[in-house]
Structure 1
Amino acid sequence: MDLVIGRVVKSHGIRGEIVVDVRTDDPDSRFAKGVTLRGRAPRGGGESSYTVAAARNHSGRLLLSLKEVADRGTADAMRGVLFLIDTAEVSSGDDPDEFYDHEIEGAVVVTVNGDGVGVVESVLHLGTSDLLSVRAADGRELLIPFVADIVPEVSAARIVIDPPDGLLNPEQW
């Protein structure tokens, strides 16, 4: 399974630099000079390898120079490329409160009373907080705020939630 560590947002300047939306907690090593990146083109495109020639921060964004990209036209064509690593290369470590999305996708969700809710399909990262997208047994998508007050227990196989009234039955609103 693949894990996205960055996405090309746009080109920058005339020398082929690209602006990358970083999606890793370790950008200094993942995008270090000399590192080979695996990139997948958008909309089902193929994969290519790129070698980092230089990386720098600019106005809060990561600018990359790649050996294979020498001009603005080539950089423009990379818009939307995802940089990937294999999930086997990462682990959330020893912190029990830290998880990568792929580690909890597929986990069974139950209430604190033991009632089945559904299965985690994905984790949505929004500006203010994260949400668990849970597929209920009846096919509905439930969006559960991924906060300690509502999700008191998390493991790779099972997530326990303590939902406030109405969260699981929006028709009650």
Structure 2
Amino acid sequence: MSTSSTTNSQPPHGLLHVGRVGRPHGVRGEMYLDLFSDHPLRTGKGAKLWIAGTWYDIATSKKSTDRWLINFAGLTDRNLAERLTNSDVYGEPIDDPSVVWVHELIGSVVVDSAGVSHGTCVAVIDNPAHPIMELDSGFLVPTPFIVSNDNGRVVIDAPEGLFDAD
């Protein structure tokens, strides 16, 4: 079921909040997870997730509409699954240079391709089309405009007029 357990329900330092446990499904310990990412390293067989003080290894997973139906190795009882309902889910950061992670954007200086700074990202707003960076200057920048994100500096390819005052 798990690789280790702790008595403290606070996640170990460095883990990212990656989702929340939904309701159990069936009688064999399967449960729904609402995950913020569908990256295969987060959802695939063998992926490790930290829930309520314990590490769990994914045995099986499948996408079910807008969430995941997960079975964890060793968790074979609905009652055990019910105890985890509504728990926060944490995971190790995934090192994938092709993906931009929210925790890497917040606090970063946002500059355009000419090197002009437009502010610091203070939040990332979830949006149905794509996430939007909120800058301390008040501007909102859709994440598809990101060209690169390195060492606290986000370079964007901003369309003309994005930073014009109303």
**Do they superpose with TM above 0.5?**
yes
Q: Name the amino acid aligned to 2:134.
A: S
Is residue 2:77 matched to residue 1:70?
A: yes
CA distance in 1, matches of 2:103, 2:15: 9
Structure 2 gap ranges (5+) = 1-13
Instruction: Find the residue that maps to 1:155 and give its secondary structure.
Output: strand
Give the TM-score normalised by structure 1: 0.63
Q: 1:143 to 1:9 in 2, by over 3 A?
A: farther
Which residue does the alignment assign to 1:37?
49
Q: 1:154 to 1:16 in 2, by over 3 A?
A: same
Which residue does the alignment assign to 2:130?
129
CA distance in 2, matches of 1:36, 1:69: 17
The answer (yes or no) to whether the contact 1:55–1:62 under 8 Å persists in 2 is no
Instruction: Find the residue that maps to 2:144 and give its secondary structure.
Output: coil
Give the TM-score normalised by structure 2: 0.65
The answer (yes or no) to whether the contact 1:131–1:144 under 8 Å persists in 2 is yes
Please report the RMSD computed on the Cα atoms of aligned residues, expressed in angstroms.
Answer: 3.2
CA distance in 2, matches of 1:100, 1:134: 16
Which residue does the alignment assign to 1:99?
100
Q: Name the amino acid aligned to 2:83.
A: A
Is residue 2:30 matched to residue 1:17?
A: yes
Q: Displacement, 1:64?
A: 1.9
Q: Name the amino acid aligned to 2:109.
A: V
Q: Name the amino acid aligned to 2:27.
A: I
Instruction: Find the residue that maps to 2:107 and give its secondary structure.
Output: coil
CA distance in 2, matches of 1:119, 1:64: 37
Paired-residue identity, %? 22
Instruction: Find the residue that maps to 1:121 and give its secondary structure.
Output: strand
The answer (yes or no) to whether the contact 2:24–2:78 under 8 Å persists in 1 is no
Instruction: Find the residue that maps to 1:133 and give its secondary structure.
Output: strand
Which residue does the alignment assign to 1:44?
none
Q: Displacement, 1:154?
A: 2.5
Q: Name the amino acid aligned to 1:25.
A: H
Q: Deviations over 1:33-83 (max 9, x none)?
A: 5x543125xxxxxx322344x3242644432223246224x4233233233
Q: How many residues align?
A: 148
